[in-house]
């Protein structure tokens, strides 16, 4: 075992830098968690978890009741937009369905994050 001695001021500076890094990491993780709840879900997820048909979702798009983005022919919706539809009673699904959708989205988000870190 090797013992390293340093001056007390150098040690205090080192501890302060470590605390600053730890604070940055915690804040960054909070931001990512907030972004995951403000993520995007596709039509399949909405239809599955809210128990609505694809035709109902198409009707909502046609009547411009839901905002969406189309990427490579696939429609994506913000979770906040889906929540708004539930709150305004445009979609008649329970709050537990929305919670299942959010939970599934977070799980999927974590899996993608793990895949990126494995590479």
Running along the chain, 119 residues long, what does each successive block of 10 average in pLDDT?
89 94 84 62 84 90 92 90 82 71 74 63
How much is the pLDDT for 52?
A: 84
> How much is the pTM?
0.54
Report how far residue 14's alpha carbon sits from residue 22's, in angstroms, rounded to the nearest whole number.
Answer: 12
DSSP bridge partners of 69: 76
Radius of gyration, CA atoms only, the chain: 22
> Can you give the residue ranges of every domain in the chain?
40-118
How much is the pLDDT for 40?
A: 85
């Amino acid at each position: 075992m090797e013992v390293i001695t340093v001056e007390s001021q150098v040690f205090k500076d080192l501890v302060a830098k470590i605390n600053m890094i730890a604070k940055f990491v915690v804040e960054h993780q909070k931001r990512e968690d907030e972004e995951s709840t403000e993520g995007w879900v596709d039509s399949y997820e909405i239809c599955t978890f809210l128990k609505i048909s694809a035709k109902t979702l198409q009707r909502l798009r046609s009547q411009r009741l839901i905002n969406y983005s189309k990427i490579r022919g696939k429609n994506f919706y913000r979770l906040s937009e889906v929540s708004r539809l539930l709150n305004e009673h445009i979609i008649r699904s329970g709050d537990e369905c929305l919670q299942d959708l959010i939970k599934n989205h977070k799980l999927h988000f974590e899996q993608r994050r793990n895949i990126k870190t494995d590479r």
